[in-house]
Structure 1
């Protein structure tokens, strides 16, 4: 069935900072949004980031879960309807509208516009290295977050795979947590110099490497743990039918001023589009950008009706 047999002004998929920001602004602007989230609660990747975020000038020192709680409070105050534990299976275009279908459920949502705010997931080890199931191997940790914090590194040999900020920040963290040895393996080093300078140069190996997740080996040497930081990929498999244009890195391409994607009526915000440096502050701003663009489009449609 359709959610309440109502057609919303916008269906926003993803309740991280970008999606919540967009939903709140749309509601405050007098439109009717609905928020759809696969998880049980608001927050997105914030929920798995236990560290203090001192980059957020308006909320210094807040941890990811605290930021998520603030988002949930703001969403409730704005009175935005939200569906949780509703992973989206597919999106269909029907007479200029969008029908959002939930996985494993008979319900659906109908809206005039679709906002993709589904974020990203950490890239796993590539299948070309015979490790398509690397995320399931014991001793392989993929991406940053709470699972890294929960891991005991004391006395362990650790190989960190990747050359970006996340790789080096986590390599430094693992050293501080008492690992016996930490070595970084990267095709190229792209991390900030402030991180690189703090890590021993002799423990950084640049080039192509032979990695075997099953045996926890890199170039034939065995480790107790492999930490994989190969960047991010957008979570938009459910929207493949829309044939959205992508950036060279695989994210959703959007108009800089409006966040509109290549399909009319579709907007992409936050990390799924990588429009700006990814963080809570830019995600919130992205939500505002899309909301104002949707408001302008809705007013034009009303005026021409």
Structure 2
């Protein structure tokens, strides 16, 4: 559809794409700093990947005892209570540069914004696999829904999530768990030590999801833990060689007035707390930039 046929329905100073910890924190701070802001999220609730996690998040200071889902729900409730303008179940269509900023379409809505913030986070890397009743991609609820009682389960990957999920699968009554890692496992030593009963096979392997075999050995289910990959809106061309969004110290990308924050940038040590902090830092930079150039986009 030609964007010119869609009337401009909103003009803002900042449009934040993605409602996880980074995007929600960025939008919250922009809103409280007096910046006309709109937050858009593809899902039906805010909270990002924390919505997938039924496990207690032991790494966030001050929220001891709360699961990832509860952290996500608290984030959603905060945005609503603070009155931050936001749209749910909204997928971005076209993004086009204008003289003053960017034109963004989603559905029958066209928004003009001076600053565009990409906070779309990451998604589990599926590799060559497709999810099915017996093949699960990534940690959290998908793995919890995999039948494991008295079954042989193969975990593919050698990171933290591989060993974490192996532990949870054993706790749920699996007959055995085997981790296949092509290289020396990179998971934390404490996580590896927590599952001494798990067999770890290091080296090349061939996994057949149709037959549920790895190197010819038959299993009852696969857990694919190949880490995460950035979810980047199409058409921006702001990624590095690893597929993540490249940003400078301020959080601005190679395209003027396009910013990014959180795990989509692979910025230092990705987690909930660093993502939220990065979103706040970007909000402060945008607020300062607007204070120096206060003119708004003409409607």
Check the 8 A contact 1:14/1:119 in 2, yes or no.
yes
Cα deviation, residue 192, structure 1: 0.4
Q: How far apart are the structure 2 equivalents of 1:61 and 1:202?
A: 27
Q: Which residue of 2 aligns with 1:249?
A: 242
CA deviation vs aligned residue, 1:166-208 (integer Å, no higher than 9, x gap): 0111111112211111000011210000011233387111111
CA deviation vs aligned residue, 1:222-281 (integer Å, no higher than 9, x gap): 110010011111111x33x221141x432111113x111111111111111121322221
Q: How far apart are the structure 2 equivalents of 1:2 and 1:33?
A: 19
SS in 1 for 2:256: coil
Q: Which residue of 1 aligns with 2:149?
A: 154
Q: Which residue of 2 aligns with 1:131?
A: none
SS in 2 for 1:56: coil
Q: How far apart are the structure 1 equivalents of 2:85 and 2:290?
A: 19
Cα deviation, residue 88, structure 1: 1.1
The gaps in structure 1 that reach 5 residues or longer are 127-133
Where do 1:156-305 residues align within 5 Å?
A: 156-188=151-183, 189-200=185-196, 203-236=199-232, 238-239=233-234, 241-246=235-240, 248-256=241-249, 258-302=250-294
Cα deviation, residue 90, structure 1: 2.6
Q: Which residue of 2 aligns with 1:112?
A: 114
Q: Which residue of 2 aligns with 1:55?
A: 59
Check the 8 A contact 1:49/1:64 in 2, yes or no.
yes
Check the 8 A contact 1:2/1:109 in 2, yes or no.
no
Cα deviation, residue 2, structure 1: 5.1
Q: How far apart are the structure 2 equivalents of 1:292 and 1:73?
A: 22
Q: How far apart are the structure 1 equivalents of 2:51 and 2:117?
A: 21
Cα deviation, residue 83, structure 1: 0.9
TM-score under structure 1 length normalisation: 0.90
CA deviation vs aligned residue, 1:12-60 (integer Å, no higher than 9, x gap): 0111111110001001111111001111111111111111112111221
Q: How far apart are the structure 2 equivalents of 1:2 and 1:279?
A: 39
Q: Which residue of 2 aligns with 1:144?
A: 139
Q: How far apart are the structure 2 equivalents of 1:168 and 1:100?
A: 41
TM-score under structure 2 length normalisation: 0.92
CA deviation vs aligned residue, 1:99-154 (integer Å, no higher than 9, x gap): 2221xx2212221111111111111133xxxxxxx324331001001121233311
SS in 1 for 2:164: helix
Q: Which residue of 2 aligns with 1:129?
A: none
SS in 1 for 2:293: helix
CA 288–64 in structure 1, closer or farther in 2 if over 3 Å, else same: same
Q: Which residue of 2 aligns with 1:97?
A: 101
Q: Which residue of 1 aligns with 2:12?
A: 8
Question: Relative to total residues, which structure has the larger helix share, 1 or 2?
Answer: 1
Kindly report structure 1 stretches of 4+ aligned residues shifted beyond 6 Å: none
Tell me whether 1:83 sits opposite 2:87 in the alignment. yes
